[in-house]
Amino acid sequence: MKVVNLAEKLAQFDAHWQPKVVADYNGNDIMVVKFQGEFPFHEHPDTDDLFLVLAGEVLLDVEEETHRLGPGELFVVPKGVRHRPRAEREAQVLLIEPRNTPNTGDPATAAVKERI
């Protein structure tokens, strides 16, 4: 039980598309991640996917639409819905997914979610 400062956590790494677990909530990973460039389209058949932008701008392609999210804006991609995050410049994001959810939707290609 301790205070988690998101900016301090984000200062500990540079890699893009590598979510870092900073807290647990009822079996969910609370993560911070840096986005830059384009992630593959994917879906999570068993879970919603929550994105909260902390800094920068994220483009979220969700099926046929593109949503633009700035700081203080969140989006929940419902389970089974195909999506792809993008960022032209580096963006910082809070992510929530159930523990062990592969970030690409596929365990074979998923990032290891290190705890920091």
Please identify, using beta-carbon distances, which residue of 5 and 100 lies nearer to a copy of itself. 5
CA distances from 113 to 3, 35, 69 (A): 20, 15, 24
Cα–Cα nearest to 113, from 2, 30, 12, 7: 30
Phi-psi category of residue 11: left, alpha or beta, with phi > 0 → left and psi -120 to 50 → alpha: alpha
CB atoms within 10 A of CB 88: 13
Asked whether the CA dihedral 16, 53, 39, 80 is positive or negative, the reply is positive
Please identify, using beta-carbon distances, which residue of 62 and 110 lies nearer to a copy of itself. 62
Please identify, using beta-carbon distances, which residue of 45 and 108 lies nearer to a copy of itself. 45
Please identify, using beta-carbon distances, which residue of 79 and 115 lies nearer to a copy of itself. 79
CB of 28 vs a copy of itself, minimal distance in Å: 8
CB of 103 vs a copy of itself, minimal distance in Å: 16
Contact assessment for residue 76 and residue 50, using Cβ atoms and an 8 Å cutoff: yes
Which positions touch a copy of itself (CB under 8 A)? 1-7, 22-26, 28, 30, 47-48, 50, 52, 54, 62, 67-69, 72-79, 81, 94, 96, 98
CB of 25 vs a copy of itself, minimal distance in Å: 5
CB of 115 vs a copy of itself, minimal distance in Å: 14
